[in-house]
Every structure is written in structure tokens, then in C-alpha cells.
Chains A and B, each alone.
Chain A
Amino acid sequence: MLVIGLDGATWKVIQPNLENLPNIKRLIREGKAATVIVKGKPLSVPLWCSIFSGKTPEEHGHEGFMINDQLLHRDDIHLDFIWDTLAKKGYKVFALNIPFVLPPYSFRVQYKPVGYGLPETEEEWSEELEEVTKCARKILEQKPDLLCVVYTLLDRVQHYYWGEKEVAEWYQRVDVKIGELLKYDTKVIVLSDHGFCDFNEAKIKTLKRAVMNGRAVKGDHHEEAVIITKNIFMPIKESEDVYYAIQNEFKV
């Protein structure tokens, strides 16, 4: 089973560009597509935690990358994620570049995230695409029971380029990589943690300033996240349902 996370991916970009995203288009045709409405703040850290732990943000209480000016580490988060649950049952599971901590967390994989998980430049976005895909393919060749992998670059691309043609171009590049991974498995979930929208439309500003690294912020997080599944029995209505949908496939 393969779970591909796209940080910040939104139907607002996918839908009008579907003809240029052949792999996502095929997956929607062969599977099911829906929108998950995030009820709390549309922030990556609590949402990836919920997605992979089955706990709501209120239940797990994990809100950001830091507490008291200290970066959090996996050990600081007292949650069992889906890979922990399945590994305990003897399944061959891997997690790659999951951004609920910085640098993003990997399970049973040695992977050094690009830019500590905060890729900033076009070079770093390209590098993340290549390196995450290369590492994911290496894992998939071992025929794992489950691989969860997240690409973080779209979030940053959309913060900087929302409303510009660059956004669709980066989605196309991501789509190519999704296509490479889809060859390995037929049970698939492709999802985002939150959606995206124009900076002025965002109900909750996720950043303290409208400038990131000296560049104007054009987009911000939106509560409508993307979910596409293929050969997954359980419907996914909330972020935390992802955990139970995966668990259900393994009958644990």
C-alpha cells in the first residue's frame, strides 16, 4: 500500500489543470476523489499528526515545530503513528519525509531532508522532488506492506507563487513523480494536509508576516484538503480517518 502526501495540494489548482496532470487524472478515474474539510486551523504539523495517528488535533495537542524555543523531535511526540502500529504487528512499513517535526521524520529509512524539510529555492524544490522519489522508489522495489511519503514543496511554491503560472508547472512536475511511484502499487491514497488560497482570502493567517525570506507571501492555507483513494475500502471524511482506513486494510 502506498500513501503519497502532498503538503498544501488543493483542488483549486488540480481541477482546472487536470488535463496536464495525467497521473492524478487517471487515479481519480480509477478510484475515488473527495474533499476533506479541516475543522481546526489548517496547519501542517497538527494535520500530518492527525492523518497518521488517528487522533484529532485536540486529542494529540501537537501544534507546531517548537515548544519554548526548542525544536521538537519524534521522541517528544507521544503518539503511535500508523507505521508504529503496523511495525509492531510485523508488517514491513516505511515512512519518508513526514513533516510533523523538523527535519521531517522518516521511519526505517535513512533520508536527509532537503533544506532540513524547508526547501526554499527552485533548486531545492527540484532536489526534494528527485531525492524523495529516488528514495521512495528504492523502498518500493523492496515490496513493502506500506510506504507513507510526503512531498513538502507545493506548500512553499504556493506561498510564493499563488495565482501565477509557476504553481501549475510545479504541480505538473509533482504529477510526473506520482506517476513513477504509482507503478509500484495498486492500493493508493494521495492526499494533502490542507488546501491553499489567496493570502487575502485565508481565514487564518498561518505566518506572522506577509513576507517570507524577503519575498511577498501570495498564498496561504485553506481548510479544503484533497483526498484521492484507489482500492481503499473505508471512506475518508476527516484527516484522522486516514489512519483508520489504512489500519482497516491491514485488518489490525
Chain B
Amino acid sequence: MEGKKQINFVEANLEELENKSLYVIREAAAQFKNIGILWSMGKDATTMLWMIRKAFLGKIPFTVLHVDTGHKFKEMYAMRDRYAKEWGLKLVVEQAEFVEDPDKHRERCGEIKANALRAAIQKHKFDAIFVGIRRDEHVLRTKERFFSPRDKEFKWDYKEQPVEMWGLLNNTLEEGEHMRIHPLLDWNELDLWRYIKKENIPINELYLSKGGYRYRSLGCVPCTRPVPSEAKDVDEIIAELRTTEFSERSGRLSAREQTEVMQKLRALGYF
């Protein structure tokens, strides 16, 4: 069965990956006037922030944006405040709609964050925004480009994106559009942790095993679940990922899997 197969991460050359990311970051800086960095304090966004610091010799020349749903882990807020100070970040926190009931928040989390981000982009007049997504996270993200434009309706038309050939990044924007910049697109989860180890990048303690569990992906408290793990440090996380059979966003079924289960139940006469 597909699900039983070990995930075979190809371990890329970290130097090449880093060079490509730095190239994307510097190209973005050269091509856009007012860039924001979306920082969720997760491992990807923090690694991206780290690389942007490297690209500009220790200083981050852009606004760092945190879209706060009010449901983040206290450890995430602590990390935000600590490194905003230590790294001298120009941090703005934009408050998203707060839905107190965790179940109701979970149902609408994506929409709540998208609305707040859209408002923040308009408010700060960002023409581009750095986002720390990776292609290996989700099937839809495989279609992303390093520069992915989003129109004034906040929609991403992946079929009409400009091509990126021979390393050329297209900065063409129509009126009201903005560009999402993805420096980490080529990285996978294992590469990222190897890089975190190599560079000694600070990470949230929630990623480390406590009582047999750790978070593999961080979001809002109601929307994120820990996975069973004994990995208590970065070395152990790397060792674990080299043999894992589970995807980073495991826990809930994807829409496709839900459909398959429903079809099975129907065929079996359950409804």
C-alpha cells in the first residue's frame, strides 16, 4: 500500500539549496519596492528569516509581519518577542478575527488568516511578500513558483503563472496584484532540519518530544496536533525523518482520502 512506504527524502546539497534561496531573496529585493516577510515562528518561516538575515549581512531590510489569530501557542509568542528584539526586526503584528470557540476557529482558520493577510497587504501597501512554503508540504504547493502572483481578488491562478526558465524570475504584476516570494520552495522537511542543525537556527521547543509527543508542524493550537515521537533534539528529528512512513501533515485525511472512504462506505452499504 502507498501509505506503508517509507518517505524517501532525497538529501540535497545544502549549499546549493542555500545559494538558490539567497538568489531568490536578493532577486526579490532588487525587483520589488515594499516587501513584507510572513513570519509564523514555525521552523520554515524562521529558517527563511535566518536566510534573509544572511542575504543582507545580518540585517533584515523588510517589515516582518505576524498575522495573529489569538490562538497561537504561548511558546510561539515568546519566540516572536524574543527574536524580534535580538534580531532587531521591524515587526508588525496584525490581529486576525478572534473566534473564541476553538472548534469554530478550526473550521474557519484558513479563511480568517487569509482575510487578515489580505487586509495587512493593503494596509502596508506590500507589493511582495516572503512566504516560507515548500513544495513537499502539499500537492497543491508543487505548482507554486518562486515568484507566484496573486491577483487583486487574492486569487492565485496557477495555470496563468509566468514561467520561470533558466533561473529567470518574472516580476510582472498587474494593478492591485502582489507577488508571493518562496525562497524555500525547493527544500524538503529533512533538508530543512539538516540546515537548522548546520546553522544552529533557533527553533521552537514544541518541535522536540515531550512525553512521547512532538509537533511536526506548528499552527494555531486548535488546528495542530502533536505526533508520537521520541525525538528530543534536532539530531534525533533528522534520524526520525530518515525512516518515517508518515507525511508532515498527517493526522487528518485529505479531501481525496475522505472521498475514498465515503465511496467505500457507500459501496459497503453503510448509507
Interface residues of A (CB under 8 A from B): 64-66, 69, 71, 73, 102-103, 108-110, 112, 114-116, 118, 120, 127, 131, 207-209, 211-214, 217
Contacts and interface: CB of A to CB of B under 8 A. Distances in A.
B135 to A, nearest CB: 23
A109 B1 contact: no
Contacts of A120: 264
A112 B267 contact: no
A108 B3 CA distance: 18
10 nearest CB pairs, A to B: A207-B269, A112-B3, A209-B269, A208-B269, A212-B268, A116-B261, A108-B228, A213-B267, A118-B264, A102-B261
B112 to A, nearest CB: 19
B74 interface: no
Q: Tell me the dominant secondary structure on chain A's binding face.
A: loop
Identify the interface centre among A65, A112, A114, A131: most chain B CB within 10 Å of its CB.
A112
Contact of A118 (B246, B257, B268): B268
Nearest to B5: A112
B209 to A, nearest CB: 11
Contacts of B250: 110
Contacts of A109: 228
Nearest to A70: B258
Given A112-B245, A112-B246, A208 B270 contact: yes
Contacts of A118: 261, 264-265, 268
Given A103-B253, A116-B261, A127 B269 contact: no
A212 B267 CA distance: 6
Nearest to A123: B1
A127 B252 CA distance: 22
B213 interface: yes
B211 to A, nearest CB: 8
Given A116-B260, A131-B4, A108 B213 contact: yes
Interface of B: 1, 3-4, 212-213, 227-228, 245-246, 250, 252-253, 257-258, 260-262, 264-265, 267-271
A79 to B, nearest CB: 16
Main secondary structure of the interface of B (DSSP, over half): mixed
Contacts, number: 59
Contacts of B262: 66, 69, 71
Contacts of B267: 212-214
Given A116-B261, A120-B264, A208-B270, 11 more contacts: A65-B270, A66-B265, A71-B258, A102-B265, A103-B253, A110-B245, A116-B257, A118-B264, A208-B269, A214-B267, A217-B269
Nearest to B250: A110
A127 B261 contact: no
Nearest to A205: B269
Contacts of B261: 71, 102-103, 116, 118
Contacts of A127: 1
A103 B252 CA distance: 9
7 contacts: A110-B246, A115-B264, A116-B260, A208-B269, A208-B270, A211-B269, A212-B268
Contacts of B270: 64-65, 207-208
A180 to B, nearest CB: 20
Nearest to B267: A213
A67 to B, nearest CB: 12
Given A116-B260, A207-B270, A208-B270, A108 B212 contact: yes
B101 to A, nearest CB: 13
Contacts of A116: 253, 257, 260-261, 264
Contact of B4 (A103, A112, A208): A112
Given A66-B265, A108-B212, A217-B269, A114 B228 contact: no
A87 to B, nearest CB: 8
